[in-house]
Amino acid sequence: MNGTGRLPLLEGVLAAVDLGIIVLDGARRVVLWNQWMSRHSGTAAAAVLGQDFATLFPELRGRRVDAAITQALEHNFPSLLSQTLNRSPFALFANASAAQREERLQQALAVTPLAVDGAPRHCMIEIHDVSIAVGREKLLRQQALELRSQSFSDGLTGVANRRHFDVAIDKELRRAKRNGSALSLLMIDIDHFKNFNDHYGHQRGDECLVRVASALSGMLQRAADLIARYGGEEFVLILPDTNAEQAAHMAEALRARVIALHIPHAASGVELKQVTVSIGVATRTLAHPAEAQELIGAADRALYEAKRGGRNRIATQAPA
Ligand SMILES: Nc1nc2c(ncn2[C@@H]2O[C@H](COP(=O)(O)OP(=O)(O)OP(=O)(O)O)[C@@H](O)[C@H]2O)c(=O)[nH]1
């Protein structure tokens, strides 16, 4: 292909490429502004050709793009500017409505020195629209966060799950050991829940679990308190910085709260004939420095005692 044939071809390529191209001469005047730039900036080439870059983009003075141009023109160094460090430096928009909302395209930039015969070095600024990739990344991050929270919460009741409890109890026990503070554990079990399911059906059973979980978690006051679903109809509560007396007080309040829900339970063995809970309380203190398993074991024994004592009550056990 001869020289005259190549020029229109290059013009065609510059018009067709899906990226913005600006070329500056050695005095930082705009000597090329392709159609992509006109389309996304709303400014035609005629309005910018021959203009000084700093006059056209005063807001970019001192920014990394500016430094990259200096590197290219004065030191012959190319630069890549990722969108994470340089959020959308140019006022470029996908379309008119995005421009109205001032929603800039996400941009990744390359600034490259260009040797030009018989003239001082030029530089080319390439601007890639990375909005789709950035959007996809944001979505993935959101999904990852959601998955993470799902993997730590119980699907039915929305409270923490067993896995979350296992992590939290270890963390809170370490903290209690460090500070020499008390830590209480409450095991909460719905009374005669098998009868409830048999009488009202599994779906009403599920609804009952959701209401009880929500009532219990609504009683928690401190950020560090945690309620988790421990198994079927059993919940566990971690109460950091809470001694045995305070924990028993809390357990009584929780028991009363469940009664206040007034969920009928015609098949209950408890006289009240409504949904009730039994609660086992165990407390780790300096005098009883229990590990997780001992504390859980003590709360479990206390729960068994409350069940044996007639249900709809609390019982306390010191860790062995
Ligand atoms: N609806 C429903 N029922 C569940 C779920 N998980 C466990 N259960 C039921 O909870 C019941 C627990 O019964 P048991 O452990 O025998 O105890 P209980 O009938 O509550 O009697 P006590 O604890 O001795 O008062 C079982 O029938 C389980 O099927 C659940 O997610 N939804």
The CATH number linked to 112 is 3.30.450.20
For residues 181 and 117, membership in a common domain is answered with: no
For residues 171 and 297, membership in a common domain is answered with: yes
Which of these three, 137, 172, 197, is where a domain ends?
137
Is 209 inside a domain boundary?
A: yes
Judged against a pLDDT cut of 60, whether residue 2 lies above it is answered with no
Overall average pLDDT of the 246-269 stretch:
97
How far does residue 232's CA lie from ligand 1's centre (Å)? 6
User: Does 232 sit in the ligand 1 pocket, CB within 6 Å?
Assistant: yes
User: Does 189 sit in the ligand 1 pocket, CB within 6 Å?
Assistant: yes
Is 146 inside a domain boundary?
A: no
- Ligand 1, closest atom to CA 191? 25
Q: What percent of the chain has pLDDT over 70?
A: 98
Which residues touch 10 (CB under 8 Å, ≥6 apart)?
none
Is 20 inside a domain boundary?
A: yes
User: Does 193 sit in the ligand 1 pocket, CB within 6 Å?
Assistant: yes
Judged against a pLDDT cut of 70, whether residue 128 lies above it is answered with yes
CA pair distance 214, 25, nearest whole angstrom: 68
Which of these three, 137, 163, 193, is where a domain ends?
137
Q: Take residue 154 and report the two structure tokens written for it.
A: 């119980």
Query: Which is more confident, 211 or 1?
Result: 211
Nearest to 113 by CA among 10, 15, 14, 25: 25
CA pair distance 6, 8, nearest whole angstrom: 6
CA pair distance 245, 248, nearest whole angstrom: 5
**Residue 4: pLDDT band with limits 50, 70, 90:** low
Q: What is the pLDDT of residue 218?
A: 96
- Ligand 1, closest atom to CA 203? 1
Nearest to 276 by CA among 225, 221, 208: 208
- pLDDT tens for 91-118 read 999 999 999 999 999 999 999 999 999 9
Q: For the domain that residue 264 is a member of, what is the CATH number?
A: 3.30.70.270
Q: What percent of the chain has pLDDT over 90?
A: 86
Q: What does each C-alpha distance from 41 to 33, 63, 91, 94, 126 come to in angstroms?
A: 11, 19, 6, 9, 14
User: Does 280 sit in the ligand 1 pocket, CB within 6 Å?
Assistant: no
Q: What is the pLDDT of residue 3?
A: 55
How far does residue 138's CA lie from ligand 1's centre (Å)? 41
The dihedral built from the CA positions of residue 79, 83, 88 and 92, taken in this order, carries a sign that is: positive
For residues 128 and 263, membership in a common domain is answered with: no
User: Does 209 sit in the ligand 1 pocket, CB within 6 Å?
Assistant: yes
Is 156 inside a domain boundary?
A: yes
How far does residue 204's CA lie from ligand 1's centre (Å)? 12
Which of these three, 105, 137, 169, is where a domain ends?
137
Q: What is the pLDDT of residue 6?
A: 77
Count of domains in the chain?
A: 2
Q: What is the pLDDT of residue 289?
A: 84
Q: Take residue 293 and report the two structure tokens written for it.
A: 């398993």
For residues 163 and 254, membership in a common domain is answered with: yes
Provide the residue range defining the domain that includes 71: 3-137
Among 128-132, 189-193, 286-290, name the one with the lowest average pLDDT: 286-290
Is 217 inside a domain boundary?
A: yes
Task: Give the closest residue (by CA) to ligand 1 atom 3.
Answer: 205
One-letter-per-residue 3-state SS of the chain: CCHHHHHHHHHHHHHHCCCEEEEECCCCEEEEECHHHHHHHCCCHHHHCCCEHHHHCHHHCCCHHHHHHHHHHHHCCCEEECCCCCCCCCCCECCHHHHHCCCECCEEEEEEEECCCCCCCEEEEEEEECHHHHHHHHHHHHHHHHHHHHCCECCCCCCECHHHHHHHHHHHHHHHHHHCCCEEEEEEEECCHHHHHHHHCHHHHHHHHHHHHHHHHHCCCCCCCEEEEEECCEEEEEEECCCHHHHHHHHHHHHHHHHCCCCECCCCCCCCCECCEEEEEEEECCCCCCCHHHHHHHHHHHHHHHHHCCCCCEEEECCC
For residues 118 and 168, membership in a common domain is answered with: no
Among 2-16, 115-129, 195-209, 231-245, name the one with the lowest average pLDDT: 2-16
Judged against a pLDDT cut of 80, whether residue 263 lies above it is answered with yes
Nearest to 274 by CA among 218, 211, 187: 211
- pLDDT tens for 24-64 read 999 999 999 999 999 999 999 999 999 999 999 999 999 99
- pLDDT tens for 136-183 read 989 999 999 888 877 899 999 999 999 999 999 999 999 999 999 999
Catalytic residue among 102, 233, 245, 271: 233
- Ligand 1, closest atom to CA 204? 1
How far does residue 222's CA lie from ligand 1's centre (Å)? 29
For residues 105 and 38, membership in a common domain is answered with: yes
Task: Give the closest residue (by CA) to ligand 1 atom 7.
Answer: 232
Is 199 inside a domain boundary?
A: yes
For residues 109 and 40, membership in a common domain is answered with: yes
Query: Half-sphere exposure (CA, 13 Å, Cβ side) for 108?
Result: 11
For residues 186 and 74, membership in a common domain is answered with: no
User: Does 156 sit in the ligand 1 pocket, CB within 6 Å?
Assistant: yes
How far does residue 211's CA lie from ligand 1's centre (Å)? 15
Q: What is the pLDDT of residue 84?
A: 72
Judged against a pLDDT cut of 90, whether residue 121 lies above it is answered with yes
For residues 276 and 168, membership in a common domain is answered with: yes
**Residue 245: pLDDT band with limits 50, 70, 90:** very high
User: Does 104 sit in the ligand 1 pocket, CB within 6 Å?
Assistant: no
For residues 182 and 94, membership in a common domain is answered with: no
Is 297 inside a domain boundary?
A: yes
Is 89 inside a domain boundary?
A: yes
- Known catalytic residue at 233: yes
For residues 184 and 96, membership in a common domain is answered with: no
Q: With contact defined as beta carbons under 8 Å apart, do 230 and 280 qualify?
A: no
For residues 130 and 242, membership in a common domain is answered with: no
